[in-house]
Amino acid sequence: MSTSTDRTAFAHKYGPWAVVAGASEGLGAAFARGLADRGLNLLLLARRPDALEAVATPLRARVDVRTAALDLAAPDLADQLARVSDGLDVGLCVYNAALSRIGSFLDVPLADKLKIVDVNCRGPLIAAHVFGERLVERGRGGLLLMSSLTAFWGSPLVATYGATKAFNLSLGEALWYELGPRGVDVLVCCAGATRTPGFERSSGPDGPRAMEPDAVVAEALQALGGPPSAVPGGLNKFAAFVLGRLFPRKRAVALMGSQTARLHARD
């Protein structure tokens, strides 16, 4: 946001409180910073209370920040989200949390795959329902779901993760159509490689080029209120265009698999 007028308009529509699910590091922490810069109070959610406090502490000089340590795969997630946000006028929900395992589909334990589905699919579905009802009732606000370039093609060696991100893309685009006329902006941000702690752990120092989290967040928040989905970063937009428009689908899938295999070889 470039001016105080822009920040005021953003805070009026999407404030006074924003919920960020998966806020303990990386993109989630960047969303917390970006939303605090825009004057929104924050409810930050993740499993690790110490990591949440590390994100929250420097922001409390600017805005009100609350944290809640909870498991986004919990069976009673809907009740927990309602409880921790009770009494807060939530105008924006950002669902950033995600699990991923790199490896052959059959080599990843079934329990791990189901946990990925719980966090990456069931979690945003519940968050969209719980906060979507409240946003429609107030007549304004937004939902922002983090997806990935893996949503556009089959993604070998992260098959379950890619499938969950395709779910988020489809869900978010449908909600954009349904909730937009009722005052709620919905955006699915399909990020490419991003320099988060998880990415650096999997790719190592010689991994592929990656965007900085704050840059991804800036583009995502700028795109909120526009088309149903957005790909941040010029290089990522180019890759999405080439793989989606110029390559046969089987070649796009093979390329995704070869790139992920290189990361897997570094583990």
Active site residues: 161, 165
Task: Answer yes or no: are the C-beta atoms of 113 and 155 closer than 8 Å.
Answer: no
Closest among 199, 193, 203 to 262, alpha carbons compared:
203
Q: Where do the H-state alpha helices sit in 85-158?
A: 110-117, 123-138
Q: What is the DSSP letter of 216?
A: H
Tell me the C-alpha distance between 226 and 209, whole Å: 27
Q: Which residues contact 188 (CB under 8 A, 6 or more apart)?
A: 144, 145, 146, 147, 168, 169, 172, 173, 176, 228, 229, 230
* Token digits of residue 263: 């990361």
Instruction: Report the relative pairing of strands 65-69 and 41-46 from DSSP bridges.
Output: parallel
Ramachandran angles phi, psi of 11, nearest 5°:
-65, -35
Edge-to-edge strands, sheet with 229-230: 65-69, 41-46, 17-21, 90-95, 141-148, 184-191, 229-230
- What is the DSSP secondary-structure string of 237-265? HHHHHIIIIIS-HHHHHHHHHHHHHHHHH
| Residues in the chain, total | 267
Identity of residue 139: G
